[in-house]
Amino acid sequence: MRHPGLKLRMAVVGAILFAFYAVVAAIAYAMGVPLLLVLLGSVALVGVQYKIGKWSALRSVGAEEMPESGRWGDVHRRVEALADDMGIEKPRLMVADMGVPNAFAVGRKGAATVVVSNELARTLDDDELEGVLAHELAHVKNRDVVTMVIGQGIASIVGIAAQWLVLLTGDNDIADFFLSMIVGTAVQFVVMLFVLAISRYREYVADADAKRYVGSGEPLARALEKIQRGNENPSPSGSTTRQRGGRGRGRGSRDQSGGVNEQVGALCIFDDDDRSLVTKLVATHPPVEKRIARLRE
């Protein structure tokens, strides 16, 4: 059985999330909301989050279709070979100016998109870039993006339900309104902690899969080292230097510190590596040093 650790963690976290959801559904049903409406509303919310999340992630970095000329042609061929090895359809490939070397995947198997930054293509050697591409395809194969969206959807549903519970059981005044906002946010945060814990472990799994399909963990390990250095020293704001054969508009993908914005950062192969106590709890990625060490074991 592949990745038994992930399967066990998914079973535990899935049971916890289902318990949260079941409590919300039971309360809604007890208050007179039809059970069918609760179920349909939940599915609709997750579906909307999935569609809007994918669209906004691509738009936020100004992603454009990846050409099939120059070095990008080699990227297309490598992705096609990796996708064939993994037994998935070749994803749509796009390129963007992010200001930092990075890459991310969105969507599901059969309708996925992988975005590569121009900065990443300029920074990495061919085998290192292949390691990154294998990592992103592993996320697609393992349905990581869909899993995260479902988890976030449940967290949103539970948070909204907590808000309404406070409002409906209180005096419906301004104090209850602010209290409901605080309670809803706190409850959603607690649920998201379980989702984020799985997200961090999924990065290890995607690294392991990339190592397996590339044949060695060394290319991806070197890539992560270069990506970390590139994120510590991002390109000047507004840079639109272009990779040969590529295009880029640099449309708002960076925050003021030079890194990718928070929404896209959660999807990327590398996110902010600040490791204070609080950020360890809410981080979407494990420490890059641990990832590199595992890849080189």
Catalytic residues: 136
User: Measured between alpha carbons, how far is residue 297 from residues 40, 122, 203, 204, 223 in Å?
Assistant: 46, 28, 16, 13, 16
Query: Taken in order 125, 131, 132, 137, is the CA torsion positive or negative?
Result: positive
Q: Cβ(181)–Cβ(163) under 8 Å?
A: yes
286 contact partners, CB below 8 Å, separation of at least 6: 200, 201, 203, 204
Q: Which of 161, 142, 145, 155 is nearest to 207 (CA)?
A: 142
Q: Cβ(114)–Cβ(105) under 8 Å?
A: yes
d(CA 187, CA 161): 10
d(CA 139, CA 145): 7
The SS3 assignment for 56 reads helix
Residue owning tokens 């796009």:
94
Q: Which of 294, 284, 273 is nearest to 100 (CA)?
A: 273
Transcribe 206-229 into DSSP letters: HHHHHHHHHS-SHHHHHHHHHHHH
Strand segments, DSSP code E, in the chain are 64-65, 92-96, 103-106, 113-117
